[in-house]
Amino acid sequence: MRQQQTIAAPLELSGIGIHTGAQVRMRLIPREQGGILFRRVDLAGMEFSIDSHEISCRNSTVLLNEGHSIHTVEHLLAAMYAYEIDSVLVELDNEEIPILDGSALPLVEALDTTGKRILSKTKKTMKIQERLVVEEGDAWISISPHGSFEVSYSIDFAHPLIGVQKLSLEIDPSSFRKDIAPSRTFGFLKDVPELYARNLALGGSISNALILDDNSVINGPLRFPDEFVRHKILDLIGDFSLLSYPLQARVEAHKAGHRLHLKGVRHILDNPDFWSLD
């Protein structure tokens, strides 16, 4: 167990939602009660809590409440999880977290600026005792006992600039800031018409996502040679933060995505004999 933490002072960030295309103002406010709570001020203060059964996936992770939603929460949740921030009120005046530059780097830079404050409440750790596996076709996630939180991710895209990429990393505030937070979301130019038809990626641009044509990245350079798999790890950290406890486990993922991440989270929560809280 460790002491819970909140941010030391309010923060404000603004920008566009990558899927909705809407301009949004986001305020992060210190919270004493424990837990991360979202509030939409444009909906008379409607609140959204972290509940794995009130979440969906639509090319991002989406919080739900009575027919309303908050889209693309994964980068913000990943930054707060990695920085061990347990209690924050997130106020929004629209339905999506601002995508900023497509990575979590602007978020951790803002968190570095404000710092953290220790709360009186303690935080238990979820320790995996036995291996769990979830699968969808040739994609899978394995969650195994381990002495820390380690993520091993592999991807395989039929694109000359991506191909097979794999990275294993122990996640802590330092490794997250240096190795994971700067990695940007990515997409393929050929998929844009289909995404637009589904009312997705309406705010996407070369300033907030890596865009690939058939042979290259049209808006490079890359921040890492394997930036694509690093961004997948960023998404997984955000999605696994939905467990609401720091995780002590080795998480291995192969060709996964938000839907399978969420399936893994629910599988853990539905099998309490496989883990303990300490």
pLDDT band, very low/low/confident/very high, at 11 (cuts 50, 70, 90) = very high
pLDDT of 51 strictly over 90: no
Within the chain, residue ranges assigned H as helices are: 74-82, 105-114, 173-175, 192-197, 227-240, 258-269
Paired residues of 90 in beta bridges:
28, 38
Within 167-271, residue ranges assigned H as helices are: 173-175, 192-197, 227-240, 258-269
| Whole-number Å distance between alpha carbons of 170 and 184 | 20
Same-domain check for residues 205 and 93? no
Same-domain check for residues 115 and 130? no
Same-domain check for residues 79 and 148? no
Q: What pLDDT is stored for residue 225 in this prediction?
A: 97
| Whole-number Å distance between alpha carbons of 201 and 268 | 31
Beta pairing, strands 149-157 & 247-254 = parallel
pLDDT of 155 strictly over 90: yes
> Among all residues, which ones are annotated catalytic?
258
Cα three-residue angle 78-83-87, rounded to 5 degrees: 85
Same-domain check for residues 180 and 85? no
Same-domain check for residues 271 and 159? yes
Number of domains composing the chain: 2
Lookup: tokens for 30: 């210190």
User: Taking the CB of residue 278, how many other CB atoms lie within 10 A of it?
Assistant: 10
Q: What pLDDT is stored for residue 1 in this prediction?
A: 86
Among 123, 156, 189, the domain boundary falls at: 123
Which residue range forms the structural domain that includes residue 260? 126-277
Beta pairing, strands 116-123 & 163-170 = unpaired
CATH number at residue 266: 3.30.1700.10
Same-domain check for residues 77 and 139? no
Same-domain check for residues 87 and 180? no
Among 102, 123, 144, the domain boundary falls at: 123
Same-domain check for residues 97 and 174? no
Lookup: tokens for 53: 């059964």
pTM of the predicted structure, to 2 decimals: 0.97
Paired residues of 2 in beta bridges:
123
Find the helix or strand (DSSP H, E) in which 162 lies: none
Same-domain check for residues 145 and 119? no
φ/ψ (deg, to 5) at 33: -75, -15
State CA 240 to chain mean position distance: 8
| Whole-number Å distance between alpha carbons of 26 and 91 | 6
Lookup: tokens for 199: 């009312």
CATH number at residue 26: 3.30.230.20
Same-domain check for residues 222 and 251? yes
Q: What pLDDT is stored for residue 227 in this prediction?
A: 98
Establish whether the linkage from the previous residue to 221 is cis, with ω within 30° of 0: yes
Across residues 112-118, what is the average pLDDT? 96
Same-domain check for residues 117 and 150? no
Among 95, 123, 151, the domain boundary falls at: 123
Same-domain check for residues 153 and 272? yes
Maximum distance among all Cα pairs of the chain, rounded to whole angstroms: 53
Over residues 218-265, the pLDDT tens digits come to: 999 999 999 999 999 999 999 999 999 999 999 999 999 999 999 999
